Amino acid sequence: MSRIKQWLNRHNISEDYRILFGDERGMRVLRHMCIQAGITRAALTTDTTALLIKEGRQQFVYSILKTVLGSEDQLARFLVEAIKEQEIKQDAEAPRSAL
């Protein structure tokens, strides 16, 4: 396959990702993927296999995020918002003290 064809294929796929994830629904799915992949929380295991699996999931989601959002700044903002959203959700689900 020629280099031009390869570039066009990558460009078309990138554009498809932007269209698919570019609206509010797509962003909601991306935030969910970040949570499921563990991007928004630290790993609390020393199991090498579990860490490798988590790293693979994170890299996969990160590659999609980078394609959709474009810049590292936008990516960082998106992840900060996803972490805040997760913390708010966890606070709302936490049991309240009777005191």
Other CB atoms within a 10 A radius of the CB of residue 30 amount to 20
- Whether the CB-CB separation of 40 and 33 falls below 8 Å is answered with no
Q: Structure tokens of 99?
A: 């005191």
pLDDT number for residue 49:
92
pLDDT tens digits, 1-45: 688 877 777 778 888 888 988 899 998 898 889 888 888 777 787
> Average pLDDT of 88-99?
72
> Average pLDDT of 87-93?
79
pLDDT number for residue 59:
92
pLDDT number for residue 79:
86
Sequential DSSP letters for 49-95: HHHHHHHHHHHHHHHHHHHHH-SHHHHHHHHHHHHHHHHHHHHHHSP
Q: Which amino acid is at 21?
A: F
Where along the chain do its domains lie?
A: 3-92
pLDDT number for residue 96:
67
pLDDT tens digits, 44-63: 878 899 889 989 999 999 88
Alpha carbon distance 15, 44 (integer Å)? 36
pLDDT number for residue 97:
61
